[in-house]
Amino acid sequence: MKKDIVIAGAGPAGLMAALKLAERGITPTVIEMKNNMDKLNRACSMQFIIDDEYEADALKIEGQKLVFTKCGLEVPYTGKLVPLYNKYYHSPKDHIIRFTRNDGKDPFSYKFDKQFLLKSLFDACAAKGVEFMMGTLALGGKDKGNGVELTLRQKGKKFTLACDKLIIAEGVNASVCGKFGLNKQRMGQAGDKVLDLGMAYSMKYLMEGITGVENNSWNLYYGNAYHSQTACIIGPSLEGDGIFEVTITGSPGLMPKKIFEEFTTASPMAKHFKNAKLIKKNGCGLKPFMAMKEPCRGNVMAIGDCAAMVEVETQGGLLCGYRAATAVAEELEGKPGFAAYTKWWQDSFEFNSDDYMEVSKGYALAFVYTDDELDYLFSLCEGHNLHGTYSQYLTPKLIWDCIRLSSEKIKKDRPEIYAKMQKMGQI
């Protein structure tokens, strides 16, 4: 039996696409490798970003719903919300760059319960008659021009499933995207091979008893003194004041477990973990790529994290699913829905802009600058309250804009830092 629409993946993007298609009278089939939606075991990002124009929209939390003010999407949500009022960047000697709104009175982001949101979307889809094939893995497939044939595995058995259109919403590792040739466009500068960003591993440790950390704040620790080439992060949990999430990201050569051990016992933060206790931990492995410029090809479209540079955040996934449903419905009517989606995708996400690599350079702090140099640069921003934002694209721009206010001072006092900034295109 041939299906109209198959959606590979039951994350925010896939579930929203399924729900909105069902509301249009189109019943999709969702394949998901998990057996059920009762638990979210892996580490993942769980922040709502409330910046105006973030991902070309603006998310507002109004009562018990999420409202995207530009496109009109409304999503019921009655789960937990924890506001974040301050974001702090810490140097090795704890010079601090502060990001805040209204001097810490207004939140710039909310931590939310992603499992609750996903289960709510799943239940809403089921109520609309969406068909789910749980415990099913997509192994590959082929776009045959007049439709798509998928190769699936469920309970150890392989079988095929045909459909008119396929929406891939599998998440950041993008393996199904690769089977359909969509990753070939993710070229490096030489244009001769797919450019991925290597394997990354992330662990989240839920802990109580950490001292020296402000509740409802997001803290990022930069420098070799913290034993990591990326930021070690301490932020709020959903469990109440005094219980924090410690997020550590590593690589095959420097795994999160080792970074965590040294961060908590042999870094400037060690004294704050002296009486801390681990409640639980979880993790994930990622193989991020550069972004797809063309997420639609033939009868197949890739949406959400699997088409992104690393991720689109949950709200980006919801927007992708919402737009994808419209695109597929229009395609079934003979209209250019995929072309409209592609234009929206290219215009809405900052990793598709021409300067996205310059933004990524803005995070190359521990790779480029010594701990002493980081202390100096961060000290130049002390006393300046930068705009409160969670955005990983806006944040480095704000930091370097602030540092550049002291360009002449840096050139005079620390010419070696000034030379590095010139080399990195930061001045």
Which pLDDT tens digit goes with each residue over 8-59?
A: 999 999 999 999 999 999 999 999 999 988 877 776 778 999 988 888 899 9
Same fold, 3-79+113-191+289-352 and 199-286: no
Q: Is 126 exposed, middle or buried (0-12, 13-18, 19+ CB in 10 A)?
A: middle
pTM: 0.93
Per-residue pLDDT at 194 exceeds 50:
no
pLDDT at 394 over 50: yes
pLDDT at 197 over 60: no
Q: Between vectors from CA 48 to CA 43 and to CA 50, what angle results, nearest 5°?
A: 155
Fold of 199-286: Alpha-Beta Plaits (3.30.70)
Among the listed residues 391, 360, 357, 415, the one whose alpha carbon sits nearest the alpha carbon of residue 56:
391
pLDDT at 191 over 70: no
CA–CA separation, 10 and 7 (whole Å)? 8
CATH 2.40.10.10 fits 3-79+113-191+289-352, yes or no: no
Residue 20, classed as helix, strand or coil, is: helix
**How confident is the model at residue 189, as a pLDDT?**
37
Q: Decide if pLDDT at 136 tops 70.
A: yes
Maximum CA pair distance of the chain? 73
348 band by pLDDT with thresholds 50, 70 and 90: very high
In the block, residue with structure tokens 């993946």: 9
The position carrying tokens 């070690």 is: 232
pLDDT of residue 190: 37
Question: Per the structure block, which two tokens stand in for 143?
Answer: 């776009």
**Residue 7: which of 116, 140, 151, 131 has the closest Cα?**
131
Domain ranges within the chain, ordered by starting residue: 3-79+113-191+289-352, 199-286, 357-423
- With a cut of 50, say whether residue 334 has pLDDT above it: yes
- Residues linked to residue 99 through DSSP beta bridges, in sequence order: 87, 386
Model confidence pLDDT, tens digit, residues 63-105: 999 999 999 999 999 999 999 999 999 999 999 999 999 999 9
* Degrees to nearest 5, angle at CA 92 with 91 and 96: 30
Q: Which residue has the tokens 């930021």?
A: 231
Q: Is the pLDDT of residue 300 over 80?
A: yes
Distance CA 310, CA 108 (A): 22
The answer to whether 279 and 206 are in contact (CB under 8 A) is yes
CA-closest candidate to residue 9, choices 35, 31, 41: 31
- Token code pair at residue 336: 């250019």
Q: What is the C-alpha to C-alpha distance for residues 299 and 337, in angstroms, rounded to an integer?
A: 11
